[in-house]
Amino acid sequence: MASPQEARVPGPRRERVDRAVAEIDRFIANLKSELGVLVQTSTPTTKAIATLLCFSYVVNLILPGFASFLALVPEKTIPCVWNVFTSGFYEMNIVGLVVDAVGVMYLGRLLEPIWGTTEFVNFVVIVQSCVGVAAFVTMYVLYVVTQSQFYIFAKFSGFHGVLVALTVALRQQLPEERVPLPAPLGGLVKLRNKHLPGAYCAGTAALSLANGAKHHHIGLWLFVVYGAYVGWVYLRYFQRTVEDLSRGGGGVGARVRVGDDREEFEFAAQFPSWCQGGVRALTNPCHAAFCGGTGREVRQEIPTTAADPDARALLAAEAGTGAATDEDERRRARGAKLLEEKMGRNKGTSEGPPATTSRQEPYE
């Protein structure tokens, strides 16, 4: 028998309420299902990072005083210099924790198999270190210029800088893949990986302004902006990738690629077309500093096999861009000798130079 309150609700209105409740229940069920799949398919490295973020949040709840030493507080960075790094793995906000933990599992699940665990960890460490230092310097400069203690005593933290850098990397590797949002949200919002960096930067900027630009929100925005830029600079100019030419039937050897000079990966291409000109004006000095004003791709091809450790040592030595040390020379000579012997034994079946090195000239 219906209650008096239910009896007073008109039939059509009650149906709309029931449909809304059913949609919410379905959304929650789909969300739980997606999260379960995400946790099951994420890599051990990303699970470890997500666990560390959750643990740091619990520590902050139980022992909030630790935030003065683990979060980024410019006034305490000297002598507590470690906080420029630990701040990235210390969570003080439950919403930020959920976004960062889910984000790192989703992004790492896609990127770590492409890069490998070592490169993935290197990327996280390099980005967080640079982001922490840049944020500290910025807040300290603002304090010196304004003489406002607002900046020197700011306290902020979170994995936001590394997370947005990972979205930039995902845009580089899998730009057209759809983001798996739970139904019915997935049908309404057609979000692709290439949209993630811009959406994340815009969202954090709006959040900072909506909350009155308090110091922890300024820190959040600085982490995100520097994270996006540092991640892009590393991928654009410094990341080394080795392609085994024998896998695709393209020949015997390996190609070392330094950076990514594709036109579609320039920093301005991450933004809408109407503002790309202004972004280029800001990023051209960085491009000129690292590439002499033009794009650059360094390729080095060396006959080798993926299973040959001595040839791998030669490849690593040849990939260096600085002055070679005595150890490098000995390793290179040893690798070259072994390669010549192997090529000589296979001379009856194939002909080819023992080692070739090619560099692609800069384009205008």
What are the pLDDT digits (tens) for 113-137? 999 999 999 999 999 999 999 999 9
Chain-centroid distance, C-alpha 133? 17
Burial zone of 327 (CB within 10 Å; 0-12 exposed, 13-18 middle, 19+ buried): exposed
Ordered alpha helix ranges (H), 189-299: 196-210, 215-233, 276-291
| Coil, strand or helix at 156 | strand
pLDDT of residue 339: 53
pLDDT reported for residue 296: 46
Over the stretch 145-167, which tens digit does the pLDDT of each residue have? 988 888 888 888 999 999 999 99
Identify the DSSP state of 72.
B
Length of the chain: 364
- Predicted pLDDT at 48: 96
The structural domains of the chain, with segments of one domain joined by +, span 17-238, 240-261+296-345
Which residue, among 106, 98, 58, 66, has the nearest Cα to 82 in the 3D structure? Answer: 66
Residue 240 pLDDT: 84
17-238 fold: Rhomboid-like fold (1.20.1540)
What's the pLDDT at 248?
55
- pLDDT means per 10 residues, the chain with 364 residues, are 52 72 72 78 93 95 92 89 94 91 93 93 96 94 89 90 95 86 69 85 81 69 91 89 62 70 79 76 72 47 47 48 48 56 52 43 38
Tell me what pLDDT residue 162 has. Answer: 96
pLDDT for 246: 60
Q: Looking at residue 226, what is its pLDDT?
A: 94
Give me the residues paired with residue 302 across strands: 254
Q: What value does the CA radius of gyration of the chain take, rounded to a whole number of Å?
A: 26
The sign of the torsion formed by the CA atoms of 254, 257, 262, 265 equals positive
What gap in Å lies between CA 343 and CA 253, rounded to an integer?
12
CB 142 within 8 A of CB 151: yes
